[in-house]
Chain A
Amino acid sequence: MITLTSKNKMTALLCGISFLNLSLFALAGEMKDANDTTTKQDRIEIKDFAFNPQTITVKSGAKVTWINRDEEPHTIVSVEKQFKKSTALDTDQEFTITAGTPGTYNYFCSVHPKMTGIIIIEK
């Protein structure tokens, strides 16, 4: 049986894990109009209802930027809620995060969930 005390400990532990997950990406989404301040390999273009490239590998600490080239709004949402989701990106709007802990992160567009992508973070 789990005592009240151990429940509290478990709750605290889960909260801590959630906090760590959310902090995997240190800088959550700044949204802005398009510019070209990030390197090409860390940019993900949204075009024709697809993330391109669908899978991107980046170094921990790198900035990853999505830019919406469609005339439809799209969002960036972590499947496992591991980073803060974007607001709806209109045409030519960007969303940037900073990659944190190495691992594989699945994300999708919550408006058009057929759109999925993967970020692989390396040391």
Chain B
Amino acid sequence: MSDYISHDHEHDGINRRGFLQCMAWAGTGLLWTVSGGVLASKTLAQIAKAAEPLPASDLSFLQISDSHIGFSKEANKDVTETFKIALDRINAMPTPPSFLIHTGDITQLSKPEEFDTFDQVLKSCKTKDVFYVPGEHDVLNEGGKLYRDRYLKSVEAKGSGWYSFNKNGVHFIGLVNVLDLQAGGLGQLGDEQLEWLEADVKDLGTSTPIVVFAHIPLWAVYPQWGWGTSDSERALGYLKRFGSVTVLNGHIHQVLQKVEGNVTFHSAMSTAFPQPAPGTAASPGPMTVPAEKLRGMLGLTSVQYKQGKTALAVVDSTLS
């Protein structure tokens, strides 16, 4: 596979060929390895056969996103059940992930009972460490106080909830780009967070692998639908000197990938409902598909890192 989006002449984050191919891949489940900006792929079946545990020095973690607990409309009337299925898949993995990253939209309407349901269901997951960033659905009330009170206890969060941490030599950065949004604009990080980011990575060596995670894409997936972050270029400017940067996001409920220099952008599927491909519908939002196809459009993302190499392997798998 070599036709990922490596060229972006329109500067809109999409080329048609790459976009269509990414969409063709979504729902089939592939291993994407990133090495020196070159992607290769394996099917999930191949991965399943190679089920031996990773060496102790390796790191694997799993991204889940857009659970939307509380949503109960036509596109998926039981999002709690599909979230449970996602957790079952995690529990069944031959090599348990070290931790989970949830890239936002835990809930549909930021209601306490929705957060309660999520927390209760999550207890069934064997992997206990979870790192969060909020989606816009999680901060609908009181500027996201409820979200922050619940999900930032294990990190030293700054400002409205951004933070960083290190695992096995990889530097992880959780960013918030869903608060204080401006009329007519996109996702936004803001000056305070950007200044923190600059300082946070300032003393890191260029060989340190960087993983950034945020809810709204940090690349211009489709600005017409608000699928982008207005000041992401400044953030990426602080990261461009690093040899390996992986940027994970949710929000758009579909697998899309773009490689730009040493930076790989990757958006994950939702565990709740799919959304239309950019520009293929009147608007974004929950997309109803035939019931037998739904689980093939929901899923999760596994990421593996081998110490001493720049490669991070990104695996998308569906719930079908």
The chain A residues found within 8 Å of chain B, CB to CB, are 48-50, 70-73, 75, 77, 79, 87-88, 90-91, 106-108, 110-114, 116
Q: If the complex has contacts A79-B183, A108-B184, A113-B182, are A91 and B140 also in contact, measured as CB distance less than 8 A?
A: no
Q: Report A-chain residues with C-beta under 8 Å of the C-beta of B182.
A: 113
Q: Report B-chain residues with C-beta under 8 Å of the C-beta of A111.
A: 136-137, 140, 181
Does A114 contact B285, Cβ atoms closer than 8 Å?
Answer: no
Does B109 contact A88, Cβ atoms closer than 8 Å?
Answer: yes
Q: How far is the CB of A52 from chain B (nearest CB, A)?
A: 12
Interface residue? B100 (CB, 8 A): no
**How distant is the Cα of A27 from the Cα of B66 in the complex, in angstroms?**
35
Q: If the complex has contacts A71-B75, A71-B286, A114-B225, are A87 and B140 also in contact, measured as CB distance less than 8 A?
A: yes
Q: How far is the CB of B143 from chain A (nearest CB, A)?
A: 10
Does B283 contact A49, Cβ atoms closer than 8 Å?
Answer: yes
**How distant is the Cα of A1 from the Cα of B283 in the complex, in angstroms?**
54
Q: How far is the CB of B69 from chain A (nearest CB, A)?
A: 14
Instruction: List the A residue with the shortest CB-CB distance to B286.
Output: A71
Q: How far is the CB of B202 from chain A (nearest CB, A)?
A: 31
Which among B109, B186, B225 is the interface contact of A73 at CB below 8 angstroms? B109
Does A87 contact B183, Cβ atoms closer than 8 Å?
Answer: no
Q: Report B-chain residues with C-beta under 8 Å of the C-beta of A106.
A: 183
Instruction: List the A residue with the shortest CB-CB distance to B223.
Output: A114
Instruction: List the B residue with the shortest CB-CB distance to A112.
Output: B226
Interface residue? B296 (CB, 8 A): no
How many residue pairs at the A-B interface have CB separations less than 8 Å? 60
**How distant is the Cα of A48 from the Cα of B121 in the complex, in angstroms?**
32
Which among A49, A107, A113 is the interface contact of B284 at CB below 8 angstroms? A49
**How distant is the Cα of A49 from the Cα of B283 in the complex, in angstroms?**
6
Which among A48, A88, A108 is the interface contact of B183 at CB below 8 angstroms? A108
Interface string of B180-193 (1 = CB under 8 A from A): 01111110000000
Q: Report A-chain residues with C-beta under 8 Å of the C-beta of B185.
A: 113-114
Q: If the complex has contacts A73-B140, A79-B183, A108-B183, are A48 and B282 also in contact, measured as CB distance less than 8 A?
A: yes
Q: Report B-chain residues with C-beta under 8 Å of the C-beta of A48.
A: 282-283, 285
Interface string of B275-311 (1 = CB under 8 A from A): 0000000111110000000000000000000000000
Interface residue? B257 (CB, 8 A): no
**How distant is the Cα of A57 from the Cα of B181 in the complex, in angstroms?**
26
Q: Report A-chain residues with C-beta under 8 Å of the C-beta of B225.
A: 49, 114
Does A116 contact B140, Cβ atoms closer than 8 Å?
Answer: no
Q: Report A-chain residues with C-beta under 8 Å of the C-beta of B136.
A: 111-112
Interface residue? B65 (CB, 8 A): no
Instruction: List the A residue with the shortest CB-CB distance to B230.
Output: A113
- Can you report 26 A-B residue pairs in the complex whose CB atoms are below 8 A from each other? A48-B283, A48-B285, A49-B284, A49-B285, A70-B283, A71-B74, A71-B286, A72-B284, A72-B285, A77-B183, A87-B140, A87-B141, A88-B140, A88-B141, A106-B183, A107-B183, A108-B183, A108-B184, A110-B181, A113-B182, A113-B184, A113-B226, A114-B185, A114-B186, A114-B226, A116-B184
Instruction: List the A residue with the shortest CB-CB distance to B183.
Output: A108
Q: Report A-chain residues with C-beta under 8 Å of the C-beta of B75.
A: 71
Does B73 contact A91, Cβ atoms closer than 8 Å?
Answer: yes
Instruction: List the A residue with the shortest CB-CB distance to B180.
Output: A110
Does A113 contact B181, Cβ atoms closer than 8 Å?
Answer: yes
Q: Report B-chain residues with C-beta under 8 Å of the C-beta of A90.
A: 109
Q: If the complex has contacts A49-B225, A88-B140, A113-B226, are A73 and B108 also in contact, measured as CB distance less than 8 A?
A: yes
Q: Report B-chain residues with C-beta under 8 Å of the C-beta of A75.
A: 140
Q: How far is the CB of A17 from chain B (nearest CB, A)?
A: 21
Interface string of B156-198 (1 = CB under 8 A from A): 0000000000000000000000000111111000000000000
Interface residue? B110 (CB, 8 A): yes
Q: Report A-chain residues with C-beta under 8 Å of the C-beta of B226.
A: 112-114
